[in-house]
Structure 1
Amino acid sequence: MAPGQHPPAGRTRRTVLRAGMGAAAAAALAACGASGSDGVGQDGRVTIEMWHGQTDTGLKALKGLVAAFTRAHPHIRVDLGGGVLADAMLQKVTAALASGTYPDLAYIFGSDLAGVARSPQVLDLTDTLRHGPTPWQSYWEPARAAVTVNGRLRASPALLDSLAVVCNRKLFSAAGVPLPEAGWTWDDFRRTARSLTDARTGVFGTGWPGVGDEDTVWRLWPMVWDLGGEVIAPDGRGIGFAKAGVRALETVAALAGDKSVYVDPKPGSEQMYQVFASGRMGMVVTGPWQLPDIRQARIDYEVVPLPSYSGRPLTISGPDTWTAFDNGGARARATRTFVSWLAQPGQDVRWDVEAGSLPLSRRSEEESAWRAKEAGTRGLDVFTKALQTARVRPVHPAYPEVSTALGQAVVSVLLGRSSPAEAMRACAADSRAALVIPR
């Protein structure tokens, strides 16, 4: 994706979803000290520091929310500090925890949470969220799962999305191919991509990120889950997708063999999205963050659910989090108050509409402001509805290494360097080496 500013952090979806450096950072988190200031000023106001990771539209939306919070809670001041974009947040927070001077709140990618939550300075938000103004069960399941570590809520959901397929209606019409409908299969997807491809005019049926990062990987997980696989095996010592992964990679190999897939060689998927926006790609698997760019490019588009092998609806969500840290009683209480307020439907929908997330809860989805946004954006409702069947990657400290191993497997298949079976054997060996390391 080249989103400009549609994800809240103002970065590519590669950085929203990257596996991160959670495992590598874990050792630095083990011996973290306490931050020194209690944050209470002479006027009695408590100041909390928020490392937000936002730029442009996301930062503007957050500033507006903070101003509204301050009016309602004049005894709490939120300092939007940090000075680092979200894709560098893990490194900065890790260093801050090691030095003993860390923020009260930080924007942490969901894939990094398990590693960060090993620090004793990360606040447990279980009571804050489960007994907060927004009923915990009204949050979408992906939002709940993404912040749950060993049965406890170690962060608050910050961003929610899902994957679907955006189709170029003009290219479908020109190729005489009917638009897909819900319930279509990956075999249908392959045939459609092949029919849309035209080497003479430089038109590709679809695209796939080809650098081996999380953007490469997360498109494969719904295929694996649909085939009965899991990311990590029940015993925790190996992958749970050795068989399903081969089948999923066979689909990837078939697309590559048909020469119907544009393989983006650069991080961030910017080139893949540019090809789609230029009218030279028939289908792209993407999330709601990409719709503004597609609309700006004046592409006549249709959004349809992901295909599957079974015909059952299934997609993936890649939530990110607001992770809170313990800087003493006064600051911790103020941080809990702010987190709880931020997640309420009114504030959540303002963030969703202005910065680019899907609603965190069914309560938020019912807000009139979201209904108006959805009604005015073609296809946005498909992404929201997909949350009903969305799953998330496991919140596990070894996930980054598993993701890296699978990313290498996907790329080797896309480029014809390995067969699906060979690629999966290498992935399984690398993943097992990571999973057997004591954590």
Structure 2
Amino acid sequence: MTDPKRALAAGLVLTLSLSACMGGTGDSGKDAAAGYDPNATVELTWWTGQTEVAEATAEKLAAEYHALHPNVTIKTSPGASVADELLTKLSAGFAGGTYPDISYAFGSWAGDLAASGKAQDLTEFVNTPEFKWTEIPEAARQTATVDGKVVAVPALVDNLALIYNKELFDKAGLAYPTDQWSWDDFRNAAKKLTDPATNTYGTAYSVSGSEDTTWHLWPLLWQQGGKILDGNTPAFASPQGVAALETLRVMAVDDKSMYLDQTDEKYLPLFNSGRVGMVISGPWALLELKEAGIAYDVTALPGFNGDHQTVSGPDLWVLLDHQDPNRAGAARDFIAWMTSAETDAKWNLALGNLPLRSTEAHSPEFAAYTKEWPGSQKFFDNLANAKQARPTVSGYAQLSRNVGDAIAKVLQGAATSQEALDEAAKKSAGLVG
């Protein structure tokens, strides 16, 4: 399940130089599954990247696939104690030749995984009629694609939307947010919801400097017509980027209506306890919201000039090449089965995640899912507002850290938006490729 923190700490420390570790070996241009015999006896290793409950579901699905294909045995494990550490484990495994056939990966790792030379080229595979590639949201397909080559299959889709506490709005005498809200509407409501006497804030934002800090800014940048990169050159310090960050700064510094979370871990619990009126978050928040029992609802993000773009943080299944066509082909067949509409209902919908494919919207499982998880229908509908993807380039993770640090400085009043973004752009120059 997607982790809202998106810390990626270990990978950022290493600057994710997988291509340097491996020299780009293994990408010969030959199809990794050429000569695949579907009847061959194969053992696959699958790093699921899941926590305990989801790992148990993964084990059941691996057993179900084995029952359908007795010649294929799938050994499952989380791969690491937390999903954030998987890229570090993969990097070490590439160097030592001990890496899995299939691994969970955050979408922001796609460029570095492609640069390693170990990811299978899945372009022809996913574009077969049987795979039904276009049923998966466009932003997720973009995230799995690096330089025109599909290097992974989306495992999970999500997006950021506005979640609000209905009781706090009622108490303040405010009309509820709508899908047509502007950021001025959001700011005005945040000011009116803020009450220093009760230590209640209108909204909240992470200032940890992690990807959770950074990716919340990208929708505001895109809504303004800005870009993260122009080619491989940082472009976020543009007038559009400054305007996007200023939108947040005025709430944090001028209005003092924004709770600043130093850890990524406090703002959702504070919202769930009725201390924050609005948060920008994703469908992973629904479980804790349900357990908290508060009255909440979900709308699309506020927008600029009617543009309500959001950001999606798709996670991936990366299939790795061991120079064995039978392992490569069996891994493809398993992931095609795993990500089919029928199996995805037993995986993502069963775990409370959004459905991976558009065709699942018409299934009885989806109807049950939206009933069980209030707000999930809005998150599903909001996928249509995820029109762009974060850059799938090597070096993105360090760029993200530089931008995250800039955002944190600005929201804490330590720098102007232009100064901080200029500094982040300077640090990020030459990082991506």
Calculate the TM-score normalised by the size of structure 2.
0.92
CA distance, structure 2, for counterparts of residue 361 and residue 205 of structure 1: 35
CA distance, structure 1, for counterparts of residue 427 and residue 338 of structure 2: 40
1:289-368 matches, within 5 Å, as: 289-327=284-322, 328-368=324-364
Q: What is the aligned partner in structure 1 of residue 282 from structure 2? A: 287
The answer on whether the counterparts of 2:236 and 2:425 sit within 8 Å (CA) in structure 1 is no
The answer on whether the counterparts of 2:15 and 2:398 sit within 8 Å (CA) in structure 1 is no
**Aligned with 1:230: secondary structure?**
coil
1:180-212 Cα deviation digits (max 9, x unpaired): 111111111111100000000111000000111
Aligned match for 1:157, one of 154, 157, 164: 154
The answer on whether the counterparts of 2:205 and 2:261 sit within 8 Å (CA) in structure 1 is yes
**Aligned with 2:164: secondary structure?**
strand
CA distance, structure 2, for counterparts of residue 48 and residue 80 of structure 1: 9
Q: Alpha carbons of 1:17 and 1:247: their partners in 2 closer, same or farther (altered >3 Å)?
A: farther
What's the RMSD between the two structures over aligned residues? 2.1
- How far did residue 360 of structure 1 move? 1.7
The answer on whether the counterparts of 2:40 and 2:326 sit within 8 Å (CA) in structure 1 is no
1:133-212 matches, within 5 Å, as: 133-212=130-209
1:125 aligns with 2:118: no
Q: Alpha carbons of 1:343 and 1:405: their partners in 2 closer, same or farther (altered >3 Å)?
A: same
Q: What is the aligned partner in structure 1 of residue 214 from structure 2? A: 217
1:396-435 matches, within 5 Å, as: 396-435=393-432
Q: What is the aligned partner in structure 1 of residue 367 from structure 2? A: 371
- How far did residue 302 of structure 1 move? 1.0
- Say how many residue pairs are matched: 418
Q: What is the aligned partner in structure 1 of residue 49 from structure 2? A: 53
**Aligned with 2:163: secondary structure?**
strand
AA of the residue aligned to 1:351: W
Structure 1 window deviating more from structure 2 (218-227 vs 237-246): it is: 237-246
Q: What is the aligned partner in structure 1 of residue 20 from structure 2? A: 27
Structure 1 window deviating more from structure 2 (349-358 vs 50-59): it is: 349-358
Q: What is the aligned partner in structure 2 of residue 227 from structure 1? A: 224
- How far did residue 313 of structure 1 move? 2.6
CA distance, structure 1, for counterparts of residue 98 and residue 10 of structure 2: 26
Q: What is the aligned partner in structure 2 of residue 389 from structure 1? A: 385
The answer on whether the counterparts of 1:207 and 1:283 sit within 8 Å (CA) in structure 2 is yes
- How far did residue 99 of structure 1 move? 1.2
AA of the residue aligned to 1:252: L
AA of the residue aligned to 1:126: T
1:132-173 Cα deviation digits (max 9, x unpaired): 533111211012111001111100101110111111011000
**Aligned with 1:354: secondary structure?**
coil
- How far did residue 282 of structure 1 move? 0.4
Q: What is the aligned partner in structure 2 of residue 255 from structure 1? A: 251
CA distance, structure 1, for counterparts of residue 357 and residue 365 of structure 2: 14
CA distance, structure 1, for counterparts of residue 124 and residue 26 of structure 2: 24
The answer on whether the counterparts of 2:18 and 2:116 sit within 8 Å (CA) in structure 1 is no
CA distance, structure 2, for counterparts of residue 294 and residue 351 of structure 1: 21
CA distance, structure 1, for counterparts of residue 224 and residue 273 of structure 2: 34
CA distance, structure 2, for counterparts of residue 31 and residue 316 of structure 1: 30
CA distance, structure 2, for counterparts of residue 120 and residue 80 of structure 1: 23
Residue identity over aligned pairs, in percent, reads 35
Q: What is the aligned partner in structure 2 of residue 278 from structure 1? A: 273
- How far did residue 241 of structure 1 move? 4.7
CA distance, structure 2, for counterparts of residue 387 and residue 283 of structure 1: 20
1:58-85 Cα deviation digits (max 9, x unpaired): 1122122112211211111111136413
CA distance, structure 2, for counterparts of residue 340 and residue 92 of structure 1: 25
The answer on whether the counterparts of 1:32 and 1:100 sit within 8 Å (CA) in structure 2 is no
CA distance, structure 2, for counterparts of residue 82 and residue 220 of structure 1: 30
CA distance, structure 2, for counterparts of residue 75 and residue 318 of structure 1: 35
Q: What is the aligned partner in structure 1 of residue 71 from structure 2? A: 75
AA of the residue aligned to 2:276: M
- How far did residue 400 of structure 1 move? 1.5
CA distance, structure 2, for counterparts of residue 174 and residue 151 of structure 1: 51
- How far did residue 368 of structure 1 move? 1.8
Structure 1 window deviating more from structure 2 (344-353 vs 359-368): it is: 359-368
**Aligned with 2:204: secondary structure?**
strand
The answer on whether the counterparts of 2:236 and 2:421 sit within 8 Å (CA) in structure 1 is no
CA distance, structure 2, for counterparts of residue 119 and residue 324 of structure 1: 12
CA distance, structure 1, for counterparts of residue 10 and residue 241 of structure 2: 20
**Aligned with 1:223: secondary structure?**
helix
CA distance, structure 2, for counterparts of residue 22 and residue 48 of structure 1: 29
CA distance, structure 1, for counterparts of residue 97 and residue 91 of structure 2: 10
CA distance, structure 1, for counterparts of residue 245 and residue 132 of structure 2: 40
**Aligned with 2:198: secondary structure?**
coil
Q: Alpha carbons of 1:387 and 1:145: their partners in 2 closer, same or farther (altered >3 Å)?
A: same
AA of the residue aligned to 1:147: A
CA distance, structure 2, for counterparts of residue 117 and residue 75 of structure 1: 30
- How far did residue 19 of structure 1 move? 7.6
Q: Alpha carbons of 1:360 and 1:19: their partners in 2 closer, same or farther (altered >3 Å)?
A: farther
Structure 1 window deviating more from structure 2 (214-223 vs 347-356): it is: 347-356
Structure 1 window deviating more from structure 2 (14-23 vs 157-166): it is: 14-23
CA distance, structure 2, for counterparts of residue 54 and residue 275 of structure 1: 25
Identify unmatched segments of 5+ residues in structure 2. Answer: 28-35
The answer on whether the counterparts of 1:264 and 1:271 sit within 8 Å (CA) in structure 2 is yes
- How far did residue 424 of structure 1 move? 1.7
- How far did residue 434 of structure 1 move? 2.4
